[in-house]
Amino acid sequence: MVMFFSFLIAMLVTMVLIPPLMRSAEWLQIVDLPNERKVHSGAIPRVGGLAMVAGAVLPPVLWLLPSPEVLGLLLGMLVILGFGLWDDRVDLDYRLKFAGQCLAALIVWWAGVRVDELPVLGEVAPWLSLPLTVFALLAITNAINLADGLDGLAGGSVLLSLAGIALLAYMANLAAPLLIALAVMGSLLGFLRFNTYPARVFMGDGGSQFLGFATGVLAILLTQQSEAGYSLSLPILLLGLPILDTIMVMVRRLREGRSPFSADKNHIHHRLLALGLDHYQAVFVIYVVQAVLVTAAYYLRDAPDAWILTVYLLCCVLVVTGLIWAGGRDWRRASAGGNRDLAGDLFGVRLERITQWGVSAAAFSMPLYLLSGGWLAQAPSADMAWLSAGLLIFLLLWWGWRRGPTLSLPERGAVYLAGAWALYHVQRSALEGPWTALSNVYFVLLAVTVAVAFRCSRDRRFAATPLDFLVVFLVVVFPQVPGLDVGYPQDLARLIVLFCAIELVLTHLRGRADWVRITTCVLLGLPLLHMFM
């Protein structure tokens, strides 16, 4: 329950904070202005990192303190955020940014997060632990920071890395890294709904450095500070593409006689755009490569370090060779207007109708699944039942006072909470037999339905993005992990799909507010019915 709600709380806090922070961005002087190196054409608020840190910090504060490693990580996060926001406002000199990153790394090293062994070489001298830890965290932090060049790019790549870390931590019974990884994942998902192309908010240096730093610390805890026995080289695969991207651009800058920290447009995403891919396609290609590397990390988690390094080098050779081959052939993709639809229809069916079919399918099947599962499940605990009752009473009072043709913000929040609670109750009841197979098939179909419906939608605010394909990847892959019974990874994948389906319904099911209200009240009332039966 703690793991499940750490993800949920982080996501909701981030989603709630982003809109008011966006409105305050100009007053805070945290706005990203376009220039010759950037692909956006207008001023975009850079406050996403502030909201993400707030969402990610809250669950560890509630459930993990006063662990020294956790306290050190939280303090390090705040230092990274402070220097990142400072950089977002005044464009700091890189030496001052490094000073802030070094301070954060020193804090977590003092708290016990340390690199004591190296792949192949084994244990290192005690006096080398500090410089190695600082170097590792600075390298990962700046690799993620440099990868933040397109809408949703850094966030989606790190989401895949964190999903791999969370899965491995869960399999090794590492509670603290698992909870922190889930909290950061929740904050990322809440941010990405505002950041995927075309972005309405950026994470800024505060957000990208926070993600890199947190992911680096979690990778160290997973491989260096635990008894899990995972290979020490595993972080190289978990963070494979950002590391490769950083090495490529720095080598090229040095060959040209420039500083390795100078800015240019030689990153992998820039080269994909130069090949003719549009924004959406470039991000999707990078997601696919990162997903392959994270999947390889899972299957090679216990392999010798030499095997992991060999696999990573082969992947790097394939990526670099592919870029050189495509560039040499002057390869192009006709992306203008063609990536969204073909003359407004698909196999003779209007796209608007496909979206409406998806909305209807989700609106009908979600309540049916949750009510059926809730009815068959065992009775919930008394505290959860009374919590459900309190939310139901609030909704009924609000309905009588402010009922309107559209759902208000508190009502929309209640819909998400009711869906999350109902899903949690069904999952924790561990229904067996045909229900398990039916549940897996249903969520795979729901994920595909939501992705297709968003993709065909004419509503540009919620058009399908590479994030929606990440959702499909998570919900399809996690239930198939060998030996992994119903648990946190599947819960999270299904919660993500459920929230995307709710978003689809609330966005497109116009004129049916009362139907949504009634369905939500029935879901909240089912636990009370269980109690009095």
In this structure, what DSSP letter does residue 342 have? B
Q: Does residue 331 lie within any of the structural domains?
A: no
Q: Does residue 136 lie within any of the structural domains?
A: yes
- In this prediction, residue 347 carries a pLDDT of 41
* Bridge partners (DSSP) listed for residue 45: 31
Q: Does residue 148 lie within any of the structural domains?
A: yes
Q: Which domain holds residue 135?
A: 2-233
CA distances to 4, 247, 254, 320, 486 from 440, rounded to whole Å, are 18, 40, 51, 37, 10
- The C-alpha angle with vertex 460 and arms to 457 and 465, in degrees rounded to 5, equals 75
Q: Does residue 290 lie within any of the structural domains?
A: no
**Could you list the pLDDT tens digit for every one of the 533 residues in the chain?**
688 788 888 988 898 888 888 888 778 778 776 555 555 455 788 888 899 999 999 999 988 877 788 888 899 999 999 998 888 888 777 788 889 999 999 999 998 889 988 888 888 888 899 999 999 999 999 888 887 767 677 888 899 999 899 989 988 888 889 999 999 998 988 888 777 666 778 888 888 899 999 999 999 999 987 677 899 999 999 998 888 888 888 888 888 877 777 766 778 887 888 887 777 778 878 888 888 899 899 889 888 999 999 999 999 999 888 888 877 655 554 444 444 443 344 444 566 677 788 888 888 888 888 888 777 766 666 767 777 788 888 888 887 777 777 777 777 888 888 888 788 777 766 556 677 778 878 888 888 888 777 767 665 444 455 565 566 566 556 555 655 554 555 666 777 788 888 888 887 777 677 888 888 888 888 777 766 66
Domain closes at, from 178, 207, 233:
233
* Residue 402 tokens, joined: 């402010």
Q: Angle formed by the axes of helices 153-171 and 240-255, to 10°?
A: 130
Residues 365 and 220 occupy one common structural domain? no
What CA–CA distance (Å, rounded) separates 175 from 179? 6
- The C-alpha angle with vertex 145 and arms to 465 and 264, in degrees rounded to 5, equals 95
Q: Does residue 138 lie within any of the structural domains?
A: yes
Domain closes at, from 198, 214, 233:
233
Return the HEC string of 266-281: CCHHHHHHHCCCCHHH
| 3-state DSSP assignment of residue 104 | helix
Q: Does residue 242 lie within any of the structural domains?
A: no
Residue type, 209: Q
What CA–CA distance (Å, rounded) separates 283 from 273? 10
Work out how many domains the chain is built from and give that number. 2
Residues 229 and 349 occupy one common structural domain? no
* Residue 163 tokens, joined: 């999903």
Q: Does residue 334 lie within any of the structural domains?
A: no
What CA–CA distance (Å, rounded) separates 458 from 460? 6
CA distances to 23, 87, 144, 360, 387 from 205, rounded to whole Å, are 19, 7, 10, 41, 39
Other C-beta atoms closer than 10 Å to the C-beta of 519 total 20
Domain closes at, from 198, 233, 268:
233
